[in-house]
Amino acid sequence: MELVFFKIIITVLLILALTWVAEKASPQIAGILSGYPIGTALVLFFYGIQVGPDFAVATVPYNLLGHVSALIFVCLYFLGSRDSTVGSTIFASICALGGYAVAAWGLSNMKPSLLSAAAVSFVAIAIFSFIFRSIPNTTIDRPIHYTPGMVIFRILISTVMVLAITGLARSVGINWAGLFSAFPLVVFPLLALIHLNFGAQRAHTVLKNFPSGLWTVLVYSITISLTYGRYGVFLGTAIGYLAATAVLLVINWRVLFEDRTNVVSLDKILKEAKL
């Protein structure tokens, strides 16, 4: 019961934090950070705690293949979103979820090695980064007003996804557990919130920058596959985050700290928050 409570609290806090960053900085930064290994790390961490580190490591190749499904998810969300109406958000979500399910089903029949899965992930991220390059970056210039309904929506969506994915690990097998761990459980509710409250263009900016964040997930997943067995789940997770953060800073340094086209840069946010 304590583990379930921990899953809920951590996931909700992470989604709220990303939404706050999107408001204070820009959807561009939120998109990059939404690709950071938050959802994946949580799921693989709980796999390691609940089932064992060997199981978590065995799912990593399918987690890497799952990046293809995640990229198809955001691509179809982009194609299905036209305006900031509820209908547009629901339609885009259905398209994205359907595309993810079909892609995951096809990938579940593969038997990848860590190297081949990493190569597939690398190529997919590069291709979608190129495809999304022409989507314009936009900023959020008005504050969001939090309502009880919005808070409940975030809590319900994030809770259901985290509990379902981690709870089904034993029963679905290594391939589906790995593919589920790549589901964009952080970016999905974030997208819906930004789409509804700030419009489709702001949501598209998150989508555009999502592939950039996935480079860090690629590095994270490979790192924990090499460290969980040797150092355990906790230390392996810490090493994975160190590697992912290094890649995040190297690849996105200008956007995160120097790009003045954002409403405010991330360094200013950190100063205001006294972090």
DSSP secondary structure letters along 94-153 = HHHHHHHHHHHHHHTT----HHHHHHHHHHHHHHHHHHGGGSPP----S-----HHHHHH
**Angle between helical axes of 39-50 and 53-80 (0-180°, round to 10):** 150
Residue 8 lies in a domain: no
Domain that holds residue 173: 49-135+157-270
Q: Residue 21: enclosing H or E segment and its boundaries?
A: helix 2-24
Total number of domains constituting the chain: 1
Share the mean pLDDT of the chain: 80
Q: What is the pLDDT of residue 156?
A: 75
Q: Which residue has the tokens 């999304």?
A: 132
The pLDDT confidence band at residue 266, using thresholds 50, 70 and 90, is very low
For 85-126, how does the pLDDT look when each residue is reduced to its tens digit (9 = 90+)? 788 888 999 999 999 999 999 999 999 999 999 999 999 999
Is residue 232 left, alpha or beta, with left meaning phi > 0 and alpha meaning psi from -120 to 50?
left
Can you give the pTM of this predicted structure? 0.81
Task: Name the percent of the chain lying above pLDDT 90.
Answer: 38
| Residue 177: per-residue pLDDT | 94
What contacts 59, CB < 8 A, 6 or more positions away? 44, 47, 174, 175, 177, 178, 181
**The dihedral of CA 41, 15, 36, 274: what is its sign?**
negative
Q: Is the pLDDT of residue 230 over 70?
A: yes
Mean pLDDT within 127-144: 73
Least confident of 25-34, 54-63, 235-244: 25-34
State CA 75 to chain mean position distance. 14
In a domain, 146, yes or no: no
Q: Is 115 domain-assigned?
A: yes
Neighbour-count burial of 51, counting CB atoms closer than 10 A to its CB (0-12 exposed, 13-18 middle, 19+ buried): middle
DSSP state, 136?
P
- CA–CA separation, 158 and 151 (whole Å): 11
For the ranges 5-19, 95-109, 250-264, which has the lowest average pLDDT? 250-264
With a CB cutoff of 8 Å and minimum separation 6, the contacts of 92 are 76, 77, 78, 79, 80, 81, 195
